[in-house]
Amino acid sequence: MLLIPCPHCGERPEIEFTYGGEAHLVRPADPSTLDDAAWADYLYMRTNTKGVHAERWRHARGCGRFFNALRDTTTDQFLGSYRIGEPKPALSMGEPR
């Protein structure tokens, strides 16, 4: 069970959270201007990063808020987390525990 750093509440066990998938996928402002391929890209294509992955979590059984986190998918160590709307931090922001 991961220990997940909620930027609002601090570290909490994984069972308090729901996973929200890849971060920074922004819903197109006007989807009707996209062709089918571009729309499918938004809907389905994922980087599936092997390494440091920016991802969304929701502290569903805590503060209820979504946030973004950086996690190394080859070790499951978190490098940090940040609030929705904040830019993805540079990688030097934290050391893995």
Q: Is 61 in the site for another protein (CB under 8 A)?
A: no
Exposure string over 58-87, b if 16+ CB within 10 A, otherwise e: bbeebeeeebbbbbeeeeeebbbbbeeeee
Q: Is 90 in the site for another protein (CB under 8 A)?
A: no
Please report, for residues 1, 41, 66, 78, the alpha-carbon distance to residue 86 in angstroms, rounded to integers and kept in the order given. 27, 24, 12, 17
Quick note: the x/- pattern for another protein over 26-45, rule CB under 8 A, is xx--xxx-x-xx-xxx-xxx
**Residues forming the site for another protein (CB under 8 A):** 1-3, 13-15, 18-21, 26-27, 30-32, 34, 36-37, 39-41, 43-50, 53, 55-56, 58, 60, 64-66, 71, 73-77, 84-85, 97
